[in-house]
Amino acid sequence: MFGIGRKINVAPEAKASATGRVAAMGLAGRAVWSPRDVTSMTRLGFTGNPVGFRAVKLIAEAAAAVPLAIADRDGRVEVHPVAELLARPNAAQGRSEWLEALFGQLLLTGNAFVEAVGPGGLPVEMHVLRSDRVSVVPGTDGWPVAYDYAVGGRKHRFHVGEISPICHVRSFHPQDDHYGLSPMQAAATAVDVHNAASRWSKGLLDNAARPSGAIVNMGEGLTPDQFERLSAEMEAYHQGARNAGRPMLLDGGLDWKPMGFSPSDMEFQKTKEAAAREIAMSFGVPPMMLGIPGDATYANYVEANRAFYRLTVLPLVGKVCEALAHWLSQHSGEAVTLGPDRDRVPALQAERDAEWNRIAGADFLTADEKRRMLGLPPLDA
């Protein structure tokens, strides 16, 4: 028991988070990555990264320029309502521009949405919707029952009946039932590294393209006013490209000790090139075609271009054409087949010539069998 009137010393109240130390310790040494949503990845990996921009543009433009072959139940045809629709999908876009937008959305987001406009039957117009504005509304059985298009606080719902007004083309995603996985998401880490290396280079150029040094005080310590004046003079007269090589005048017992590049500092350019190769690899573009040095996978540019079309462009065109053909067949009520015309792709001309010569020299095949193997209709047709 304490005596009456005896003063008790109580420790002052400390207001601090119980998890503060844990959070501070957990942040030490951890890398900071950019957001992985579609909008951020498009901004950082396409509009803000030259490698991602060129890879997407190269694939989309090449795929949009691939000639298409149309066939109905009787075989390949040259004149067809689907061909006329693809020649001018809508009043604002032609064939190449419309297809480039379609392939670009698929590459950047892993999803491409096409809207059909018309009273019924074959669409009168087709429009490519921005994938970041479209969301899938799944039903109780897991299949989409509607598509929501939201922009500026307004939303429009496309209901899916027997025939869907929306054609949804998506890339393979092993962990999502409704949305595809884009190459940009797979290359997100490489994009962050490449952008960080570019910012490092810009910072180096802003500091006269040389590493910072140290000003050593050989006498007494600087007063606050002297320190502020020295910092201002360093920033105004000795930083930036226009001040490169400018002599430095020090007084008051100050000495400048320059610091050279360490071996780790000199590795940033190799790191940047490695990140660029990873971005190109995720999109399926040979690094040689993007001007990335240090890659000799292909003997020459012609072979790299042939591999680019055979392994990247044509599979992408075939996937999109198959989805469009099935969707348009539902609208028109007549079966139609759509695919790339490999005979008219200049990059594959040498391979097609060899195939034609091999089939033409097969004496045990009839003329119709040879034409069927080449994808041509029989002579009677």
Average pLDDT over residues 276-291: 91
> Are 238 and 269 contained in the same domain?
no
> Are 166 and 150 contained in the same domain?
yes
Among 5-9, 193-197, 234-238, 339-343, which is the least confidently predicted range? 5-9
Domain residue limits at 252: 212-259
Residue 23 within any structural domain of the chain: no
Check whether 253 has a pLDDT greater than 70. Answer: no
> Are 363 and 332 contained in the same domain?
no
129 phi and psi angles, rounded to 5 deg:
-90, 150
> Are 46 and 189 contained in the same domain?
yes
The predicted pLDDT at position 293 comes to 75
> Are 197 and 271 contained in the same domain?
yes
> Are 80 and 102 contained in the same domain?
yes
Residue 15 within any structural domain of the chain: no
Residue 28 within any structural domain of the chain: no
The predicted pLDDT at position 348 comes to 81
Give the separation between CA 343 and CA 349, rounded to whole angstroms.
7
Among 17-26, 276-285, 325-334, which is the least confidently predicted range? 17-26
Residue 52 within any structural domain of the chain: yes
> Are 283 and 369 contained in the same domain?
no
Alpha helices (H) along the chain: 20-26, 38-42, 50-64, 81-87, 95-109, 183-186, 188-206, 224-237, 268-283, 301-308, 314-332, 349-360, 367-373
For residue 319, name the pLDDT band (cuts at 50, 70, 90). Answer: very high
The predicted pLDDT at position 355 comes to 78
Asked whether the whole model's pTM tops 0.85, one would answer: no
Residue 5 within any structural domain of the chain: no
Higher pLDDT, 202 or 337: 337
Higher pLDDT, 264 or 118: 118
> Are 240 and 372 contained in the same domain?
no
Strand ranges across the sheet with 144-151: 134-138, 144-151, 154-159
Give the separation between CA 45 and CA 34, rounded to whole angstroms.
10
| Model confidence pLDDT, tens digit, residues 46-76 | 999 999 999 999 999 999 999 999 988 877 8
Cα angle, residue 218 at apex, residues 212 and 219 outer, rounded to 5°: 135
For residue 218, name the pLDDT band (cuts at 50, 70, 90). Answer: low
Check whether 240 has a pLDDT greater than 90. Answer: no
**CA Rg value for the chain:** 31
Q: What token pair was written down for 200?
A: 């490092």
* Mean pLDDT computed over every residue of the chain: 81
Residue 107 within any structural domain of the chain: yes
The predicted pLDDT at position 188 comes to 92
3-state secondary structure 294-326: CCCCCCCHHHHHHHHHHHHHHHHHHHHHHHHHH
Contact in structure between 101 and 114 (CB atoms under 8 Å): no
For residue 276, what are the CA distances in angstroms to 62, 128, 266, 282? 20, 29, 17, 10
Residue 18 within any structural domain of the chain: no
Average pLDDT over residues 191-203: 85
Instruction: Domain count for the chain, please give it.
Output: 3
For residue 94, name the pLDDT band (cuts at 50, 70, 90). Answer: very high
For residue 340, name the pLDDT band (cuts at 50, 70, 90). Answer: very high
Among 190-194, 261-265, 364-368, which is the least confidently predicted range? 261-265
| Model confidence pLDDT, tens digit, residues 8-61 | 555 555 555 554 444 444 444 456 677 778 888 889 999 999 999 999 999 999
Check whether 246 has a pLDDT greater than 80. Answer: no
> Are 283 and 359 contained in the same domain?
no
Cα 176 to its chain centre, rounded Å, is 19
Residue 338 within any structural domain of the chain: yes
Among 35-44, 46-55, 154-163, 253-262, which is the least confidently predicted range? 253-262
> Are 197 and 227 contained in the same domain?
no
> Are 297 and 253 contained in the same domain?
no
The predicted pLDDT at position 22 comes to 45
> Are 75 and 220 contained in the same domain?
no
